[in-house]
Chain A
Amino acid sequence: MCLGIPGKIVETFQRDQLPMAKVEFGGIIKDICLAYTPEAQPGQYVLVHVGFAINQIDEAEAEEVFRYIEEIEAMGAPGGPEASEAAERGGGGETG
């Protein structure tokens, strides 16, 4: 119910006094209301919930988790054997 999908603004327009946009989700285009993200511009990504953009995606912050993972990997696998075993149980892949 609180599903939010990131989509890319293709173009903006007005309808019934509401700021609207054509927003693309992996090739599908939908009309989305921008009333709560009035600064969002074409080319930017917004988080969409039931036809409304509820926020712009912060593109710098979107990298945060990957920077963090690079850091911990650079420091060497911190886990020891138990951690590798725990990781293997789920994925079955190799564990660095």
Chain B
Amino acid sequence: MKYLDEYRNADAARSLVRAIAARVTRPWNIMEVCGGQTHAIVRFALDEILPDEIRLIHGPGCPVCVTPLETIDRAIALAARPEVILCSFGDMLRVPGSGKDLFTVKSEGGDVRVVYSPIDAVTLARKHPDRQVVFFAIGFETTAPANAMAAVQAARLGLENFSMLVAHVLVPPAIRAVLDVPDCRVQGFLAAGHVCTVMGAAEYRPLAERYRVPIVITGFEPLDILRGVLMCVEQLESGRHEVANAYPRAVRPEGNPAAQRQVAEVFEPTGRKWRGIGEIPASGWRLGPAYARFDAERRFDLGHITAEEPDACRAGDVLQGRLRPCECPSFGVECTPEQPLGALMVSAEGACAAYYRYRRK
């Protein structure tokens, strides 16, 4: 496919690796923020072809992985209601809640449907006026414009049987949380390319400045990632800490203003709890006043749901780059894709899933 295959060219990758090796003089810890990047790194063994001085640390950029247990339990409670059709992206179905996952609710007779696009959930609500359709709206900034449009369309169409369980999270507060940990070893970041496609580069400049770390906006194919690493290493070696763009075919400095406007109309900032990490202030979006009537947590009385993470799951350490998946005592033993302890083992972007799939020895 054009704009994909050519960025997997092995000779070009070797050229970039040589250029990185030529510049590196000492060890550097670089965090790739997005789980999609983690998967590409592990799948194409980019971490193994890079010079030994470069250590890639896997970041928290997997929305499925960081959606808190309580929110999964709320989705499960909604899906179990007879009047509800719960719509979700496919990744979410196998994520364990406190007692079970959405897939199990479905097998027990709950009406749980996988949608490709949030608009499909709106279409479903039109088709089933006698049912309540709830869309489980998760994601980072990349997904927010699409999820916002679902609310806008539901309002335009006057749908009273559509609502959203919103669990949106944001990348810059997560980077800040990683950097605020006292023993943080991360010296540079590969920022999540598609998040920046929507939001642009501006909000990363104060972070680069304050924490004196280079932040390089990076894509998802092997050449994109190696180019990002190279640009990050060049800055680290010369003592600079700027925001740079290694993914210019998809990211403009200003992002996508039309998408930003729609998101700002529908959502407002809120604090969010991140699974395995804890509460991060102003780290998410919820429906703002103009669209609050589509908030599933207002429409349905779900009672007070609290949940405790299983002790054996070290997801928080993995998400913050303190532990590699294969260093976790549960990895591949009591935690497998068939019997996961946490979301990282079943999400398509989870670091544990990547190691289990490509690196299990």
Contact = CB atoms under 8 A, between A and B. Distances in A.
Contacts of B61: 2
Contacts of A62: 3, 249
Contacts of A5: 1, 4
B15 A69 contact: yes
Contact of A1 (B16, B35, B198, B224): B35
Across the A-B interface, give the 4 residue pairs with the lowest CB-CB distance, nearest first. A90-B49, A51-B117, A83-B21, A79-B18
Given A1-B140, A90-B45, A79 B21 contact: yes
A90 B43 CA distance: 12
Given A54-B259, A89-B48, A47 B18 contact: no
Contacts, number: 189
23 contacts: A1-B35, A1-B36, A1-B63, A1-B138, A1-B348, A2-B63, A4-B193, A17-B156, A35-B149, A37-B258, A47-B194, A51-B116, A52-B149, A64-B248, A78-B22, A79-B19, A79-B21, A83-B17, A83-B51, A86-B50, A86-B52, A90-B46, A93-B14
Interface in B192-222: 192-195, 197-198, 220
B250 interface: yes
Contact of A47 (B7, B138, B250, B349): B250
A91 B116 contact: no
B227 interface: yes
Most buried by A among B14, B227, B250: B14
A83 B36 contact: no
A47 B35 CA distance: 18
Interface in B302-361: 347-349
Nearest to B126: A16
B19 A72 contact: yes
Given A79-B22, A83-B17, A38 B258 contact: yes
Contacts of B118: 50-51
B259 A64 contact: no
A23 to B, nearest CB: 12
Contacts of A17: 156
Given A1-B89, A2-B195, A54-B197, A82 B149 contact: no
A61 B295 CA distance: 40
A2 B197 CA distance: 11
Given A51-B117, A82-B21, A1 B14 contact: no
A8 B1 CA distance: 10
Interface in B115-144: 116-120, 138-140, 142-143
Nearest to B247: A61
B44 to A, nearest CB: 9
A58 B3 CA distance: 10
B54 to A, nearest CB: 9
B12 interface: yes
B228 to A, nearest CB: 10
Given A2-B34, A16-B153, A54-B142, A91 B14 contact: yes
A8 B198 CA distance: 19
A33 interface: yes
A4 B117 contact: no
A35 B149 CA distance: 9
A87 B224 CA distance: 17
Given A26-B1, A36-B256, A78 B91 contact: no
Contacts of A83: 17-22, 51
Contact of A61 (B36, B139, B197, B248): B248
Contacts of B140: 1-2
